[in-house]
């Protein structure tokens, strides 16, 4: 296993960089195809969410892999390599497994413990399977990450450590008030009908808003979301769908707006919002600086993080100070929650009197001080145990084709000897022949049982990869036979499917 991940997230890069580096679905597909075309990679998968972009690959050379994957991310994101590199992080082999399992459990999320990431990991796996870029390693890795994430949520109280990004965003909009009380009687406009917008609409309905209007470029999808909302047993919310062209009119009647579309440009400009409220933009005001986490250094330093064959995390660096816009003061007439990346709502909306804007950037800042639940330590233990188990399973799987080839060779030897016996003792009846055949097979099985079981055990331990080579040398196994077993296993249609 030579698993490598190169990426950036809300922990390593400012939202402005993540926003520019976001990858559309067709761009992700092209990135995967180009990664496989690159010499160091044999498998690839992309995990792209509103606050992370990560490229996973099975590589045969670490340094070349880091350089190639970093270059490909820069090319497809449209952010220059020199600008992107300071924000990239690199994990290799067991560290890469640990990283993905932590992500799956919500430990690396902007809101610790949120469960939406599991759906995004599942989508990343499905995309890799559909494009045939995810092979044995990444299929196993992502499938196991999903199981680890589900285990963390079912066996611990990690859900209490955080919540969905939507729920956290609504808490920020409520500005300290109880979200349920704050939402009572309000009219909400949800822009978009994808997974995040659907979650937002469902959360708003449970929170207690009186009415939800859904706007989407495809009217049928908006109507489908409305239908789902009205079928819910835990809400009596009124809901209806409108065309995107009606958003301007709906803004004049809305109290809360949640937007999460796949648009590459702004959906709501500051001028459009000001017009809806019958007001104007205030003059820009200087805002206080806030601390954000810096990124690791450059690609050359990434390579230097490898110690004894496994990468270590990026070294700690001093915090940077950046300036974020201050919110307008006074009573809130319109609450805006922007969950899109790149952003849907003009950041200048904070200058409109009566508007409160919460977006990915302000959520990142607010969540930095969120309390950690005691269950987080338990989840970290689960992750550590699962990483060790995954590594052992992968190392054991590496020797399996050699064991199968050895048993195949032994079966061929038995078959050859039985055929020779038939030629020398043609008068044996079927019962005698069957007894002799079974006896010979039993002897061979008993001779092979201990060494094959033991070699699997040894191979599962750290540094055990060489046992497969030793087995091939000792029994003079044909490498082509071993490779054929590996290909047959890899092409199994039932492999990697949940």
Give the active site residues: 50
DSSP designation for 105: T
The burial class, CB within 10 Å (0-12 / 13-18 / 19+), for 161 is: buried
* 41-49/52-59 β-pairing: antiparallel
10 Å Cβ neighbour count for 453? 11
- Using the CB atoms, write b or e for 53-90: b if 16+ within 10 Å: bbbbbbbeebeebbbbbbbbbbebbebebeebbbbbbb
Rounded distance between C-alpha atoms, residue 487 and residue 5, angstroms? 25
What pairing do the DSSP bridges indicate for beta strands 334-338 and 355-359? parallel
CA 24, 302, 295 angle in degrees (round to 5)?
Answer: 60
Handedness of CA 202, 121, 144, 488 (dihedral sign): positive
CA geometry: angle 233, 239, 243, nearest 5 deg: 145
DSSP annotation of 5: E
Pairing of strands 256-259, 187-191: parallel
Which class for 37: exposed (0-12), middle (13-18), buried (19 or more C-beta within 10 A)? exposed
User: In terms of Cα–Cα distance, which of 83, 103, 85 is closest to 95?
Assistant: 103
Numbers of helices and strands, H then E, in the chain = 20, 14
Q: What is the distance between the alpha carbons of residues 377 and 357, in angstroms, rounded to a whole number?
A: 34
Find, among 65, 43, 73, 47, the residue nearest to 138 by Cα. 43
Length of the chain: 498
**Sequence-ordered list of residues with C-beta below 8 angstroms from that of 419, at least 6 positions apart, any chain:** none
**In the beta sheet, which residues pair with residue 335?**
256, 356
CB-based burial of residue 344 (10 Å sphere; 0-12 exposed, 13-18 middle, 19+ buried)?
buried
Residue 248 near residue 276, CB atoms below 8 Å: yes
Quickly count: other Cβ atoms within 10 Å of residue 380's Cβ.
Answer: 16
Q: Is the peptide bond before 342 cis (omega within 30 degrees of 0)?
A: yes
């Amino acid at each position: 296993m030579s698993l490598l991940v190169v990426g950036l997230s809300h922990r390593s890069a400012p939202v402005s960089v993540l926003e520019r580096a976001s990858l559309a679905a067709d761009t992700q597909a092209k990135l995967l195809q180009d990664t496989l075309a690159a010499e160091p990679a044999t498998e690839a998968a992309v995990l792209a969410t509103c606050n992370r972009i990560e490229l996973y690959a099975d590589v045969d050379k670490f340094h070349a892999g880091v350089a190639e994957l970093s270059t490909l991310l820069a090319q497809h994101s449209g952010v220059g390599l020199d600008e992107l590199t300071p924000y990239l992080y690199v994990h290799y082999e067991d560290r890469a497994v640990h990283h993905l399992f932590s992500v799956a459990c919500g430990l690396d999320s902007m809101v610790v413990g949120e469960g939406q990431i599991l759906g995004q990991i599942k989508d990343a796996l499905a995309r890799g399977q559909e494009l045939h870029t995810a092979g044995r390693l990444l299929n196993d890795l992502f499938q196991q990450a999903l199981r680890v994430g589900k285990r963390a949520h079912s066996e611990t109280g990690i859900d209490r450590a955080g919540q969905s990004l939507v729920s956290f965003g609504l808490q920020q909009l409520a500005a300290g008030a109880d979200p349920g009380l704050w939402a009572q009687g309000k009219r909400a406009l949800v822009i978009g009908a994808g997974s995040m917008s659907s979650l937002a609409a469902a959360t708003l309905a449970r929170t207690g808003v009186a009415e939800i209007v859904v706007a989407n470029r495809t009217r049928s999808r908006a109507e489908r979301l409305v239908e789902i909302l009205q079928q819910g047993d835990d809400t009596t919310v009124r809901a209806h769908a409108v065309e995107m062209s009606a958003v301007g009119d709906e803004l004049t009647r809305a109290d809360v707006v949640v937007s999460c579309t796949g648009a590459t440009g702004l959906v709501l400009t500051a001028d459009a919002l000001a017009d809806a409220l019958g007001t104007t933009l205030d003059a820009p005001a200087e805002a206080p600086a806030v601390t954000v986490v810096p990124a690791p250094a450059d690609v050359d330093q990434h390579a230097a993080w490898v110690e004894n064959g496994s990468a270590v995390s990026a070294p700690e660096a001093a915090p940077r100070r950046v300036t974020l816009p201050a919110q307008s003061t006074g009573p809130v007439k319109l609450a805006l929650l922007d969950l899109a990346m790149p952003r849907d709502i003009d950041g200048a909306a904070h200058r409109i009197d009566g508007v409160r804007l919460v977006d990915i950037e302000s959520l990142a800042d607010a969540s930095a001080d969120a309390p950690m639940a005691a269950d987080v330590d338990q989840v970290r233990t689960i992750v550590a145990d699962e990483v060790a188990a995954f590594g052992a399973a992968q190392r054991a799987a590496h020797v399996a084709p050699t064991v199968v080839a050895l048993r195949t060779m032994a079966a061929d030897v038995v078959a050859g000897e039985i055929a020779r016996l038939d030629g020398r003792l043609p008068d044996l009846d079927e019962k005698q022949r069957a007894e002799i055949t079974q006896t010979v097979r039993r002897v061979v099985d008993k001779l092979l049982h201990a060494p094959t079981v033991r070699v699997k055990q040894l191979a599962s331990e750290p540094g055990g990869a060489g046992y497969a080579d030793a087995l091939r040398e000792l029994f003079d196994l044909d490498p082509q036979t071993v490779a054929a077993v590996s290909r047959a296993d890899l092409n199994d249609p039932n492999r990697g499917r949940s």
